[in-house]
Amino acid sequence: MNRVNISTLLLLIPVALLSVASLCAASKEPVRGRNGMVVSAEAHASQVGVDILKQGGNAVDAAVAVGFALAVTFPQAGNIGGGGFMVIRMADGRTATIDFREKAPQQAHRDMYLDSTGAVDAERSLVGHLSAGVPGSVAGLLHALEKYGTKSRREAMAPAVRLAEKGFEVSHRFAQWLKADSASLVKYAETKRIFTRHGHPFKEGERLVQKDLGATLRRIQNDGTDGFYKGKTADLIVEEMKRGNGLISHDDLRSYRAIERPPVIGTYRGYELISMGPPSSGGIVLIQMLNLLEAYDLGRRGPGSSWNITRMTESMKLAYADRAEYLGDPDFFPVPEEWLVSKEYARERRALIDTMRATPSLRIRHGVAPARESEETTHYSVVDRWGNAVSVTTTINSWFGSYVTVKGAGFLLNNEMDDFSAKPGVPNQYGLIGGEANAIAPQKRMLSAMTPTIVLRDKHPWIVTGSPGGSTIITTILQVLTNVIDYKMNIQEAIDAPRIHHQWLPDTLVYERHALVHDVREHLATRGYNVKERHGTQGRAEGILIDRERGIIFGATDPRGYGAAIGY
């Protein structure tokens, strides 16, 4: 770089700092609590969690109650017909990461979404009965409750049962979502019956009652996992599959189990991170990016400076290239996890970063070691008075999943089969490239970008966070963490701040409005970056920060969504 370019760069840094400072000055204050905090995408569900905490339940009890409540009040993403991941850190130091990701049915095969010419028929993996994987949410939530909770199923599920049977008022935003998806919701008779009034979307203030869902929740409440994976509910699921030529069988349901996986552990500037391992790619990719960035003093410059943006973007590209090659269901494909998250590997990969010019993605290959996900996921975080912390991300994939509601059971089924690589090497609708590691196979769990994360400070939970956002989840959480750790923002400012995203392919640096000032965009373009403003927003993070010295718990919701942080 010559002297003129250095001067230009130095002139850009204060502008970027001013932009971020202005944004943070506009942030609301985070919610405060001293005994507990629940942050979720929906106010009724957050209140359910806080009520459980006030009744003496721990963070796991509250998280389970929130999960079932979201299946009622936030059915476009909250669910019992989908799956997800849960990260738990108990006050006594125990750590658990629970995989309740959906599985491919036994009759699934790698070419099931290819047409007669061998091309991917995306519609078949996105909408309808064939797009549904075997649900895992009920197994995961109950596993957590039975092993780490203190409340009974009856106590933890009572609020969700009540919300389903008695109903709740449709909010302004929920009414908008129902209206926006009404054309698809009315295509399936049972979905139309529950989520519309004779084909017309529910309006704000009207009461949504879900009697069939309430009955299903009562069966789970009474019989545990058998109330879902066996008996009447299982019969209803299989009957629904037969109506629409789906694949889920009684054997698929009976054999489903939630799995406790080893957590992915990393460090960044002295803080310890606990996140989810495969089949979630989130933890590994997040730690890879942080390892790459750790060598750079990001805090000296603003998050919007071209100096920081180039290094962050190149780190994203390198990590996402490895994601496409190495990550999938570890029960089917060996994942070199320890190597990928090692500091040594980060040093090798960092040597590939050209800080002067953008490295074209087609020149980036995965490292030598000794895949799409919908944006319509939901995340929630819980902390209790004893210092237990839970981070949960769950999904039915697309907004309202497959649009198929199980007749007589009242819940939507996922369309998670689209998260597999329908054809390795071919991008899905979100542009993510998947390899053989994420090819479809019977009983296999599809790759995910969900990144529920807990950060420890002095061995105690400090930050609890996660986000929806499909392929952007991991880069969203990356920026929330660097905003707090490197730029000293509070948790609300860190979540509010504008974001960028690069996922290796397509080779485009996407930014939210205000993330990059004009001069920085121009400077990046001269360095070879394809820079594009995002239409809409990136992610809807939820977060909790625990200040042990002051005895205060801070909760923050993302202004990009309509969540609720409630503390007490």
- Kindly list the catalytic residues: 377
Cis peptide before 279 (omega within 30 of 0): yes
Close Cβ partners of 216 (under 8 Å, ≥ 6 residues apart): 80, 227, 228, 233, 409, 410, 411
* Token representation of residue 249: 């069988």
- Round to whole Å and give the CA distance between 421 and 125: 10
Q: Are 113 and 120 in contact (CB under 8 A)?
A: yes
| Cα angle value 181/218/243 (rounded, 5°) | 50
What angle do the packed helices 3-25 and 518-526 form, to 10 degrees?
140
Pairing status of strand 95-100 against strand 377-383: unpaired
Pairing status of strand 460-466 against strand 500-501: unpaired
Phi, psi torsion values for 96, nearest 5 degrees: -140, 140
Residue type, 534: R
Residue 226: CB atoms within 10 A of its CB come to 14
- Round to whole Å and give the CA distance between 515 and 502: 14
Q: Where are the alpha helices (DSSP H) in 327-391?
A: 337-340, 343-350
- Round to whole Å and give the CA distance between 167 and 535: 35
At residue 399, the 3 state secondary structure works out as: coil
Pairing status of strand 200-201 against strand 196-197: antiparallel
- Round to whole Å and give the CA distance between 458 and 548: 10
* Token representation of residue 49: 């969690």
Q: Are 67 and 258 in contact (CB under 8 A)?
A: no
* Token representation of residue 262: 């080893």
Rounded to a whole number of angstroms, the distance between the first and last alpha carbons of the chain is 54
